[in-house]
């Protein structure tokens, strides 16, 4: 099968870091193996298969393609065949997601990096999909950037969008997915202005018209009261309000959402959407759905960003055309009809 078109924006990833390219971020035994093979004059053409250890939503494969394009770009074309699935594919336990045929020393040092790219991003994408399924048909937005190191927020948000989120809070992550960032306003802005309406009016006055006017209404006063005050101040320009009541005050409840919706509708503000955030996970989302709470979208943070990685394993299955495998695995290539031939040349511009 021929490779599908990349996801919008996914080819705008940064070049692999110097730590990845040098092998400093790899398990040290791969560097030691490379040194031994070099001194022994050995560099066989091998087939490596990488498979998932659980049912999951695959992500990170595009990032792996960029790394492989860099690693294998100097090899003779007749020695290299790379096949894989695509970001967003649903995969089953032990399904092969990536197959590499190439001289071992050209890519062996990068096994740690490839497995890590797949494991972390697939974990995030799979967690996002669980939230998206719980919320359907209402959309989910990724708000998890504050829970991870800033160097990987783009990867987190991209993975969340691959998992089905309609948007993400960081410009870097949204850009990788070919989208604009999504957000409201921080509580700090409301606190600095000392009044929710004053903060909302400044937001409306100073930001570009294409930025949706979504206002936090839980900072100072009763949420329903604040929602009405903001709606009266901004009128038709108000896109939505966000409920983020902290746990110290009982969190957002289905009853609160019902009240806010009713009061907005009674005052003629049926167009104003309600966004809920704060400690959401699939169970909490299902609670709102089961109670019939009129939530228009859910903003999810740590349930996605804190997801466990999905394990992936890389196995050598051929050496110089001879089927081989370690004990417990079947020698030779696995029947994997879904794999698509990857054109590394299209990814070389990113490497």
Q: What is the DSSP string of 23-89?
A: TTTS-HHHHHHHHHHHHHT---EEEEEEEESSSEE--SHHHHHHHHHHHHTTS-GGG-EEEE--TT-
What pLDDT is recorded for position 226? 96
The predicted pLDDT at position 351 comes to: 42
Q: Which fold has domain 124-305?
A: TIM Barrel (3.20.20)
* Residues 65 and 350: beta-carbon distance below 8 Å: no
**What is the reported pLDDT for 349?**
59
pLDDT in tens, 184-235: 788 999 999 999 999 999 999 999 998 899 999 999 999 999 999 999 999 9
In whole angstroms, what is the distance from residue 216 CA to residue 230 CA?
Answer: 9
- CATH topology of 10-122+308-350 equal to that of 124-305? no
The CATH number, out of the four listed (2.60.40.10, 3.75.10.10, 3.40.50.150, 3.20.140.10), of the domain defined by the range 10-122+308-350: 3.20.140.10
More confident residue, 225 or 18: 225
Domain definitions of the chain by residue range: 10-122+308-350, 124-305
Closest CA to 20 of 59, 70, 75, 84: 70
Mean pLDDT of the chain: 91
Identify the residue with better confidence: 264 or 77.
264
Mean pLDDT (whole number) for 227-247: 95
- In this model, does residue 252 exceed pLDDT 80? yes
Reference 34, options 131, 134, 104, 113; nearest CA is 104
Residues in the chain: 351
CB contact at 8 A, 282 and 131: yes
Q: Tens digits of per-residue pLDDT, 102-152? A: 999 999 999 999 999 999 999 999 999 999 999 999 999 999 888 999 888
The pLDDT, as a whole number, for residue 91 is 97
């Amino acid at each position: 099968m021929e490779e599908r078109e990349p996801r919008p924006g996914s080819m705008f990833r940064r070049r692999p870091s110097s730590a990845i390219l040098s092998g400093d971020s790899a398990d040290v035994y791969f560097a030691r193996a490379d040194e031994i093979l070099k001194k022994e004059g050995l560099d066989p053409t091998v087939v490596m298969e990488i498979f998932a250890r659980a049912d999951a939503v695959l992500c990170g494969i595009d990032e792996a393609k960029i790394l492989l394009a860099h690693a294998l770009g100097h090899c003779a074309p007749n020695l290299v065949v790379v096949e894989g699935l695509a970001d967003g594919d649903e995969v089953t336990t032990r399904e092969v997601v990536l197959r590499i045929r190439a001289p071992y020393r050209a890519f062996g040092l990068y096994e740690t990096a490839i497995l890590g790219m797949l494991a972390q991003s697939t974990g995030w994408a799979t967690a996002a999909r669980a939230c998206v399924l719980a919320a359907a048909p209402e959309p989910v937005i990724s708000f998890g950037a504050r829970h991870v190191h800033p160097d990987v927020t783009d990867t987190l948000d991209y993975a969340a969008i691959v998992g089905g989120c309609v948007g993400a809070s960081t410009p870097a992550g949204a850009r990788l997915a070919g989208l604009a960032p999504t957000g409201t306003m921080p509580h700090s802005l409301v606190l600095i202005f000392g009044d929710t309406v004053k903060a909302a009016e400044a937001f409306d006055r100073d930001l570009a018209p294409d930025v949706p006017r979504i206002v936090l209404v839980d900072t100072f006063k009763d949420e329903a009261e604040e929602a009405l005050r903001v709606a009266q101040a901004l009128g038709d320009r108000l896109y939505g309000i966000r409920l983020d009541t902290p746990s110290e005050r009982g969190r957002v409840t289905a009853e609160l959402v019902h009240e806010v919706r009713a009061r907005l509708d009674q005052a003629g503000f049926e167009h104003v959407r309600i966004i809920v955030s704060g400690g959401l996970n699939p169970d909490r989302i299902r609670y709102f759905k089961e109670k019939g709470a009129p939530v228009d979208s859910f903003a999810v943070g740590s349930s996605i960003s804190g997801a466990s990685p999905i394990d992936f394993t890389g196995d050598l299955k051929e050496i110089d055309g001879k089927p081989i495998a370690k004990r417990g695995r079947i020698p030779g290539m696995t029947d994997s009809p879904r794999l698509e031939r990857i054109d590394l040349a299209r990814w070389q511009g990113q490497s």
